[in-house]
Structure 1
Amino acid sequence: MRRTIFNTPILTPLLRQGARLLLRLHGWRVVADQQALKLKKYVLLGAPHTSNWDGYYFILAALKLRLTPHWMGKDKLFTFPLGGAMRWFGGIAVDRSRANNLVQGTVDQFNASSELVVAVPPEGTRGRKERWKTGFYYIARGAVVPVVCGFINYPRKEVGMGMAMEMGENLKAELERFRDFYADKVGKFPERYTPPA
């Protein structure tokens, strides 16, 4: 597996110690569903996503939990001069100019891997939108992997992973399940949150 911030010998153990220290200094707690932690392949949601600080806390939590998350991005993001840094932070380039799209490219990555965690912010942006982007659902269905509810909750200073959900055929019903899970999770700027719909 390619080296990232989450699996580089010598450096990653130091970063994990640093993450634990920073979380303690900030007064944040990392919580995780133990069954979800045992999974090798899944889509990891990141919600609510209302601030750049969300990514910071998610990275600290991933380091503490010993996760190796990746994210998919269009190949143009991975060119010089930032390409190396994007890959080191877990990015995987997907060629969107071919007949297949980002969803199919991600499904292909899952099918080619024995272990893969792909992080997706379903809101797609830090600003309020009309509805969640549903690519994560189609990735999970296509790759036959569960979706794990990654979350952040600013009032309680908690970040982590909730339960894993297998995706059924009814998208609307699945979005209702996500709406229930995230109902008590509050972002840094609650007015920017887009609930599942």
Structure 2
Amino acid sequence: MLKTVSLGLILARMISKFIYTKVLGWKLVGEFPEEPKKFVAIGAPHTSWKDFPIAILARNSFGVKINFIGKKSLFKPPFGFIFKWLGGTPVDRSKSNNLVESIIDIFNSREEFRLGLSPEGTRKKVDKWKTGFYYIAKGAGVPIIMFTLDFGKKQVAISEPYYPTDDIEKDFKVFTEFYKDVKGANPDQF
């Protein structure tokens, strides 16, 4: 089956790749796979506002659609439409609702869905990562793909798909190993 891609998407990919590689001097290591069509992508370290534009430029350079969630206040006027246009969905973190189950339902209702998350859940320094991304992947039966936001090497590196096991400690060791030499924009925050 022939895939049709709009001229706008091709142009956005070319412009993003030019800015990402030529203007900013970053590189892409690895690729987001076309298969599977569903996965949770975790990006770390998340230590600065700069992480978001770097991740969006990298995503666009790869030419793969990866959605994200963000706090509800980001989606308010006058700039909220930009976050929606970029693939974002607002979440109300002030209410106690089961966000993990809601996202699993999204995965189960679609043939194709890729969700990008920061396992830290914030730009501030944290002692341990949140586990929501892990339980989303397990509940939806999808792999986790890790990607770095490495300001030391100026690169985004992508892992192979990793299917979580029933041993969370073992799985988190795999994640820790992947990110061990990565430097964030604010290295003291990671």
TM-score range, shorter chain: 0.7 to 0.9
Q: TM-score, normalised by structure 1?
A: 0.83
The one-letter code sitting in structure 2 at the alignment partner of 1:38 is: E
Over the aligned positions, Cα root-mean-square deviation in angstroms equals 2.4
Note closer, same or farther for the CA distance 1:97–1:48 as it changes in structure 2 (3 Å cut). closer
Runs of 4+ in 1 over 6 A off after TM superposition: 95-99
1:28 aligned onto 2:26: yes
Other structure's SS at 1:180 match:
helix
Deviation at 1:93, TM superposition (A): 4.4
- Following superposition, the deviation at residue 39 of structure 1 comes to 2.3
Stretches of structure 1 lacking an aligned partner (at least 5 in a row): 1-7
SS at match of 1:153: coil
Contact 1:58–1:160 (8 Å) recurs in 2? no
Q: In percent, how many aligned pairs have the same letter?
A: 35
Q: Is the 8 A contact 1:72 1:102 kept in 2?
A: no
Does the CA-based 8 Å contact 1:154-1:188 persist in structure 2?
A: yes
For the residue of structure 2 that corresponds to 1:27, the secondary structure is coil
**CA–CA distance in 1 between the matches of 2:92 and 2:52?**
24
Distance across 2 between alignment mates of 1:76 and 1:189 = 24
1:11 Cα offset (Å): 3.1
Instruction: Give the letter aligned to residue 64 of structure 1.
Output: S
Alignment of 1:62-141 (within 5 A): 62-73=59-70, 78=75, 82-93=79-90, 101-141=98-138
Q: Report the residue type matching 1:89 in the other structure.
A: L
Aligned length: 185
Q: 1:108 to 1:93 in 2, by over 3 A?
A: farther
| 1:159 and 2:138 aligned | no
* 1:144 match: 141
Asked whether the 8 Å contact 1:28–1:157 carries over to 2, the reply is yes
Runs of 5+ unmatched residues, structure 2: none
Of 161-170 and 71-80, the range deviating more from structure 2: 71-80
Q: Find the aligned partners of 2:74 and 2:123 in 1 and give their Cα distance.
A: 19
